[in-house]
Chain A
Amino acid sequence: MKVDRRSFLGLGIGAVAGIAISPVGAKLTDDFSIWTQNWPWTPVPPDGEVSYDRTVCHLCPGACGISVRKIDGRPVKIEGLDPYPVNNGGVCLHGIAGLQYLYDPSRVKSPMKKVNNRFVPISWDEALTMVADRLGELRNDQKPDTLACITGSDQGSVPGLFKHFMAAFGSPNYLTMPDLESWLVRTAKTLHGDAYTLGFDIDHSDFILSFGAGLIDGWGSPVACIQTMGNRRQRQATLVQIEPRLSNTAASANQWIPINPGTEADLAMGMCAVLLKENLFDPVFAQGFKGGFMRFTAMVQKEYPLDKVAGVTGISAADIQKTAVAFAKAKMPVALPGKGRGEGAQNLKEFAAVHTLNCLSGNVNKQGGTFVKPLPKYLNFPDPVQDAVALKGAAAAPLAGSVQELVTRIDKSGESPVKALLVYNANPCFALNDPSRIRAAFEKIPFKVCVTSFMDETAMVSDVILPVSTFLERMEDVPSKAGLAATVVGLSKPMIKPVFNTRSPGDVVIGMARALGGDMAKNFAWDSYDACLEQVTARIWGPLVRKGHVVLSENLPAGSVETDFEFLAQNPETVKPAGDLEFTLIPIDYFRVPPTVPAPSPFAIKTVSDRILKGTDMFVEINPQSAKNLKDGGFATLTTPAGSVPVRVHFNDGIMPGVIGMVKGLGHTLDNKYVSGKGVNINALISPKIEPDSGMDAAFGIKAGISKA
């Protein structure tokens, strides 16, 4: 008889107990373990010399310093870097799982072109020549402005190179995906003028009034924020969290104030009215008030009286009054905009109204408050040399102010106004609202180039894929963003030689320009991206290489700040969730699932709760009070004006009645069985709604219905 583990277990419990007390037990159990443990292939990880190397994570805007443990040069573990001015030794699960991205099944292993709807590998030369030929045609046709470019963020030297490329090429159509930083820059521009951004000294604040900012759910620089929240209690700093759902941040706050989804701007305006009425604003700071202050004051008193705001937001007038007064009377208050991670669809009215609370409190450019700081300027690109074609193209009016607006433009025109598209480090076909509409619009663009590490949803609709090395395989400057008080520029370095036939994104841009030849090549005369990086960061290159990072704005921003109330004084309209169904569907930013680029790692997927994902089923959260005939764990159909999907129901007392919550970032269709085909992409259920003033998609949620399946 062949004894395998199964038949051994078949002997039964008595037999095992007998073996355990018998003298031959030791020998037998040893044999059993040998028989039962037959592994066809046993990985024996090679041993060797241990070393540690430091670099910077750029999986998210966090920009954390990390330390990579290596065995004979082979990376085996990522840990937080201590000390590092962003994350002081901390790290998050995505950063730790960074090594999985090196060998991710969906990595693009060599350049690809699409032939008959299938991707075939090609050489770098062929790929770059192909791109140059197609883009060259646009310039030959005197239509360089029909090239559009979408990147994930506009900071750092690589986005800088893409911008430089667009300028030299002659197109004004450079767009970035909405992220928290871009919203903060927009807000600063609206209230304080160009070239500012906002930082928040949450670390020292004693009263944090958060309008849904997910301080431990991935907002801003996630690890830095979590650390701040970790020591908040010792500092006796109060956190008041205002949002429709008991997020993890709300759960750890001193007070959770549930609010009707999408009415945060009205609440902030109402609070401004309280401060103005009770004369609780800072007289010194008020000297810098200009443009529209009187009209703003009159408008909020008239349009946002307590009773009305209470009705709209669902928060009692007493609570609004009390909270506003507590905020104004705190020593170092700070009000935070940006629901959840603060990325994706948000709205300018809300950001501006919340930041106006900061301005009224006077706690601006002071410790524990809000910093209105100049945009970090550490890069010096040479001015692009534009030929006649480029000059004409660059002077054309931009097609759109946001990716969603661009998609709408393409949607509405019979023939796409965009003839070629470059996408880098962005996945709009997954990450923006109504991704199928975005895919359809992209289909109309005759030529799409995706510069990416992964075969993601956007790569799949492109014509040429130029594969780039991951953050562990390349050198790059990584500026910290989004909300931190200081700006830290880190230098990421290759921890390992590229695993596949990939290049650094900077080299890809230089390669495209060279292949285009002529003036394009002249504008990119660097030998390599590394040489370019050294040149454009010259001012800080030395310390950057020596220390691995440079802190740009260590001190409080100097000088006075003027505040312009014009925008809010006009009382812009609040963007409301579309539709007239009974519930409001809102996205949940769940820290364990990154909502944008890249997709979650297998390890991250492993930590997803089985009340969110079960097999391929997606759960939605609903308060049992408003669940009617639905059953906890049962199947249901979720419908919005944009579509209808099967879901399962998770009863959660921590979500407002009338609201349905769904985790954002699931439902990938990329080529990775550990991550794909799991759950639903909530963006597919939300149609974009462009806010007139910002030109951005402001559809944070949408009206929805749910019924038993």
Chain B
Amino acid sequence: MIHDKKAHKYGMVIDLDKCTGCGTCAVSCMSENNVPFKEDESDKKDSITWMRVYRLTNNKPFPDTEVAFLPRPCQHCGGKGDHGHSPCVSVCPATATDYGYDTGIVSQIYTRCFGCRYCMAACPYHARYFNWWDPVWPEGMEKYLSPNVSPRMRGVVEKCSFCYHRYQLAREKAYASGSDEIPEADYQTACTTACPAGAIVFGDLNNPSHKVHQIVKPDPHPDPLNPDVVGKSRNPKVFRLLERLGTNPKVYYMSEREWVRKLGDHYLDGEWDKVKNVYGSASHE
């Protein structure tokens, strides 16, 4: 395996207080990655949306109701202890999905996938999608397809790749210029650059000069209470989805609102009060 000189750990922070739920990230993703569409897209169970925006509410009655939006790409899980055994990677019989140790990106190789959908069952974030049909574009529309991302066929699973082709381009550019550093601005995902609210920040979590690192302030040590959890944020406003599972997502979320942060996991009665705002409190006690 070719390693970059330095192992990157690409990740994302999404500010849920800035996110407007406009859906631009989702469409930017679709158009960047040749994601198809069908006549009826209202059945969300078979609608392919690498980036999907969920609506959250605090469930309080009028007029105390609040809503927030949560964009959800693939979380690019590092797996237990952040060793690269992401839930989806470890179950794939065809090695069609793989963990990039040099990037932290979980890849999907379509030509290897034979559609057993174990990964879909294993992914706690519903981030993977199965192609039940060969995509069909209205006549002529295939002309806008990008050569950087292969269109997927019936019978395979697909998901967000953190726009891996953009990483490749940035890496080539860096090599060509004789540098082994990829500047932060050179590798940005399509959703990040599109978001009109500036809610998404993307970069190398391992690189202290990158914004993601500065916002997340990832803890280099495993959580003392749950050694499976690594890279927990030391920013009390930042959380990950289902963090206590130990999937170690590289997508972090941020909110001032406690009810929003609380929705990041399923807490039993009384549990939240023990863990909220307590750094290093990802594990059950």
Contact = CB atoms under 8 A, between A and B. Distances in A.
A514 B24 CA distance: 43
Given A20-B93, A45-B146, A99-B31, A605 B41 contact: yes
B28 interface: yes
B96 A33 contact: yes
From A8, A87, A592, A673, residue with most partner B Cβ within 10 Å = A592
Given A223-B196, A674-B138, A16 B24 contact: no
B113 A33 contact: yes
B61 interface: yes
B194 A91 contact: yes
Given A592-B22, A606-B30, A623-B62, A36 B155 contact: yes
A616 to B, nearest CB: 8
Interface string B246-270: 0000000000000000000000000
Contacts of B42: 608, 610, 613-615, 678
Contact of A606 (B47, B62, B193): B47
A74 B154 contact: no
B138 A89 contact: no
8 contacts: A20-B93, A37-B114, A43-B137, A91-B28, A100-B141, A607-B23, A607-B53, A653-B61
Interface in A185-223: 216, 222-223
A96 B51 CA distance: 15
B65 interface: yes
A615 B197 CA distance: 31
A613 B39 CA distance: 13
Contact of A39 (B115, B118, B153): B153
Contacts of B115: 5, 9, 36
Contacts of A657: 62
B60 interface: yes
A90 B196 contact: yes
Interface of A: 5, 8-9, 16-17, 19-20, 25-26, 29-30, 32-33, 35-48, 71, 74-80, 87, 89-93, 96-97, 99-100, 102-105, 216, 222-223, 226-227, 229-231, 233, 246, 248, 251-252, 256, 258, 499, 591-592, 602-611, 613-615, 623-625, 652-657, 673-674, 678
Contacts of B110: 37
A96 B20 contact: no
B23 A230 contact: no
Given A37-B111, A90-B196, A251-B66, A71 B147 contact: yes
Interface string B21-65: 111101110111010011111111001010001010101111101
A606 B95 CA distance: 31
A226 B63 contact: no
B138 A103 contact: yes
Contacts of B60: 653
Given A30-B94, A43-B137, A103-B144, 6 more contacts: A45-B34, A45-B147, A230-B20, A230-B199, A606-B27, A678-B42
B7 interface: no
Contacts of B40: 615
Contacts of B24: 91-93, 96
Given A42-B153, A74-B143, A97 B27 contact: yes
Contacts of B146: 45, 71, 76-77
B111 A89 contact: no
A609 B39 CA distance: 15
B112 interface: yes
Contact of A45 (B30, B69, B151, B193): B151
B147 A654 contact: no
Nearest to A256: B63
Given A246-B65, A248-B67, A96 B27 contact: yes
A216 B94 contact: no
Contacts of B140: 102-103, 499
B198 A33 contact: no
B68 interface: yes
B285 interface: no
B134 interface: yes
B30 A603 contact: yes
B142 A43 contact: yes
